[in-house]
Amino acid sequence: MKNVLITGSNGYIATAFVKQFSSKYNFILLSHNITAGHITWDELNDNRKLIQSIDVVLNLAGCNIGDKRWSVKRKEEILSSRIETTQKLVNLFNSCDKKPHLISVSAIGIYKSNQINDEETKIDYSHYANFSEEITKRWESEANEYIGLRTITRFGVVFSSNGGAFPKMLKPFTLGMGGILGDGSQYMPWVALPDLLNALDFLISYEKQGVYNIVAPDMKNNAELTKLIAKTWHRTSFMTMPKFLIKALFGQMGEELFLSSIKVSPERLISDKFNFHYPNLDSALIAIKNKTF
């Protein structure tokens, strides 16, 4: 049984991963604060025997980028929660004789619009066109300093019934106020929670390395997503939130998270014959409505 160290261990994805694979892996949960069942950074640093026993590091640390408007202070929090933790991990395990498999999370915000991006898309880490690119490029740059087995996972928006972004997306529809954001042409790569968890397990089990896009193969734009949500929940979707209003209400965060368009394909998972349980948006939405996940 592999020993897996998890950062961001109080988060939604980490909690779900631990719950699903508690019988397969021995988890060491790392937290900045003293929490029952978790260890702190000081406790980890002081326990060389524990450090040498770690087989995998699953780096899920990072505060939610969509929780608050992006003030200067919030941007600093978003960056530091990702970069400082990754720096600490890389420095710690680069100095060890035994180097665990590092799986470090990133996001599809690293990609440019107006093209279909896959893992072969060239990334210029020296240039940030916007804050989403700055987050992901600086985050990945730190992870790329690791000299052991390394995997970078670029997540799409995670869909489930009880956590993450989707319940917030669904709420306007349940209130009869669902509708298209902007002109609805923007693409938003997504992935069902079970597929994301199974993909992480797949990467650990087969010791995969390099970049992996963890997104569903089914690409839909906002207008198509809106139509499918309305159809699945039997709600209307006649409203439209114009771009100027989104920018006024949410500022830069709204412009980059709600209005930007990115097309991403999970080519490496497809090539590796990974089994998506929810490859299509309509099947994922029906499962979410039924609270399957």
pLDDT tens track for 2-35:
999 999 999 999 999 999 999 999 999 999 887 8
CATH of the domain at 29: 3.40.50.720
CA distances from 134 to 76, 215, 231 (A): 11, 21, 37
Residue 266, C-beta contacts closer than 8 angstroms, at least 6 positions apart: 118, 212, 213, 214, 215, 216, 217, 274
Could you tell me the residue range of the domain that residue 127 belongs to? Answer: 3-289
Q: How many domains does the chain have?
A: 1
Q: Which amino acid is at 80?
A: S
Q: What is the DSSP letter of 176?
A: T
- Give the pLDDT score at 277: 98
pLDDT tens track for 224-240:
999 999 999 999 998 99
Length of the chain equals 293
pLDDT at 114 over 90: no
Q: What is the mean pLDDT of the chain?
A: 96
* Among candidate residues 44, 50, 40, 45, the one with its CA nearest the CA of residue 10: 40
* Among candidate residues 104, 273, 103, 106, the one with its CA nearest the CA of residue 203: 103
Q: What is the model's pTM?
A: 0.96
pLDDT at 101 over 90: yes
- Phi, psi of 248, deg, nearest 5: -70, -40
- Give the pLDDT score at 1: 95
**Cα(20)–Cα(197) distance, rounded to whole angstroms?**
8
Token couple for 222: 């906002």
Work out the pLDDT band at 88, boundaries 50, 70, 90.
Answer: very high
